[in-house]
Structure 1
Amino acid sequence: MIIETDKYYIPHKQRNIVLPIAWREEFEIKVADNVLVCLKEMEVIISSDLVTETDNLTLAKVSKKGLVTIPKMLDLQLEAKIHQLLVDTDNQCFLISPVN
């Protein structure tokens, strides 16, 4: 199931996004954990476990307030339009997806 959040991301401007604490706790993602960040079909996937096979997989650290920095090489591949943070409860991951 995909759940929309009230968090948005604008590529090429600010490369940070805050992961909601309720979902971080649900997915057992803690402060200072490394999460997997990858790009698939113009969506950024953030997960504690590998949920998809992809070539451009990197690690990012979760900061004190749940902030994750999207790697520049992934950010540059995204369209310069607003993206929304989604929660994929089935795969226990976060998606940053373009807003239609």
Structure 2
Amino acid sequence: MIVECDKYYMPRKNRVLLLPIQWREEFNISENDLLSVHKENNRIIITKKTPATGFTLKYVKMNKKGVITIPKIIDDELDCRLHQLYINQDEHSFLVVPVTQEKSSL
């Protein structure tokens, strides 16, 4: 199930994103955990587990407030438009998707 959040991300701004505590707790993510971050089809996927091969992975550490920094190399590849945070409960992952993209393609 995909859950829409009221958190947004703007590429080429400050590159930080707050992951909601409810979902961090549900996915068993805590301070200093390494999260894998990769770009797939113009969206960012953030997860605690390592995804299937074929992606250029970057790892980020989450701070105690639940904030991560999106790697510059990934941020630079995104369209410079507003993105929204979604939760993929089935995959235990966070998705950062352009706002204009249709929800059916999540």
TM-score range, shorter chain: over 0.9
CA contact (8 A) 1:51 1:91 kept: no
TM-superposed deviation, 1:53: 3.4
Give the superposed CA RMSD: 0.9
Indicate yes or no: 2:17 matched with 1:22: no
- Cα distance in 1 for residues equivalent to 2:31 and 2:84: 22
Q: Percent identity?
A: 42
2:35 partner amino acid:
V
Equivalent residues of 1:40, 1:54 under 8 A apart: no
Within the alignment, does 1:12 sit opposite 2:12 as a pair?
yes
Give the number of aligned pairs: 100
Query: 1:35 offset after TM fit, Å?
Result: 0.4
Q: Which runs of 4+ in 1 moved over 4 A?
A: none
**Structure 1 residues 14-93: aligned runs within 5 Å:** 14-93=14-93
For structure 1, the 5+ residue unaligned runs are none
1:97, distance to aligned residue in structure 2 (A): 0.4
Question: Which structure's residues are more often helix, by fraction?
Answer: 2
Structure 1 letter corresponding to 2:55: D
